[in-house]
């Protein structure tokens, strides 16, 4: 068994950076999108790169409204929960607390705040990859790579995609 790498992205708001797609093509075995996708074409493109798990964010209407609000995926022997609006590790919202209590995930991947955060809630690793899109108050577009080694150890790399206003 080899290390599994999971691409983590959130808050694309209808913009998918070619640099992120290339990175995920090179490195990701699976992709998790933690909501506010904005355009179904983004999920279609990510699915072409690697199997993709996604949840609905508060801006996701149209056909995206059929996405689940929460999801659980098992990768590399680790249980990963996905939820868009979750608060922070210091002040998790009720939905996040309940999801963690109910499913006992090793990791929870969240979005919404546009703020990259890594923390812990009990034994659960909390990751917000930040916002990869151009819409919002963030100044820097970010994503992340989560590495699950054969022993189940977790490591994460932050991915900086550039300024929110940068045009390619």
Tokens (6 digits) for 3 = 């290390």
- Structural domain including 118 reads 4-163
Residue 87 forms part of a structural domain: yes
pLDDT 10s digits, 105-128 = 999 999 999 999 999 999 999 999
Residue 168 forms part of a structural domain: no
The domain spanning residue 51 has which CATH number?
A: 3.60.21.10
In this model, does residue 63 exceed pLDDT 70? yes
- Which of the 8 DSSP states describes residue 139? S
Element (H, E) at 23: helix 18-27
Query: In which band, very low, low, confident or very high, does the pLDDT at 168 lie, cut at 50, 70 and 90?
Result: very low
In this model, does residue 166 exceed pLDDT 60? no
- Note the pTM of the prediction, 2 decimals: 0.95
Residue 159 forms part of a structural domain: yes
In this model, does residue 83 exceed pLDDT 90? yes
Name the domain count of the chain: 1
pLDDT 10s digits, 23-39 = 999 999 999 999 999 99
**Which pLDDT does position 1 carry in this prediction?**
72
For 145-157, b/e burial (b = at least 16 CB within 10 A) is bbbbeeeeebebe
Residue 110 forms part of a structural domain: yes
Residue 154 forms part of a structural domain: yes
Q: Over the Cα atoms of the chain, what is R_g?
A: 14
Residue 86 forms part of a structural domain: yes
User: How far is 133 from 141, CA to CA, in rounded Å?
Assistant: 6
pLDDT 10s digits, 47-56 = 999 999 999 9
């Amino acid at each position: 068994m080899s290390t599994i790498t999971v691409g983590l992205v959130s808050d694309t708001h209808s913009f998918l950076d070619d640099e992120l797609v290339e990175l995920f093509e090179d490195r990701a075995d699976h992709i998790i999108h933690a909501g506010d996708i904005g355009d179904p074409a983004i999920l279609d493109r990510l699915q072409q790169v690697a199997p993709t798990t996604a949840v609905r964010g508060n801006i996701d209407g149209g056909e995206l409204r059929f996405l689940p609000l929460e999801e659980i995926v098992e990768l590399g022997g680790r249980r990963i929960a996905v939820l868009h609006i979750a608060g922070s590790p210091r002040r998790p919202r009720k939905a996040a607390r309940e999801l963690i209590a109910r499913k006992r995930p090793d990791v929870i991947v969240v979005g919404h705040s546009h703020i990259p955060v890594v923390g812990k809630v009990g034994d659960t690793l909390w990751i917000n990859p930040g916002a990869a899109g151009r819409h919002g108050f963030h100044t820097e577009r970010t994503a992340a790579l989560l590495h699950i080694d054969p022993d189940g150890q977790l490591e994460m790399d932050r991915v900086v995609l550039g300024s929110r206003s940068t045009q390619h």
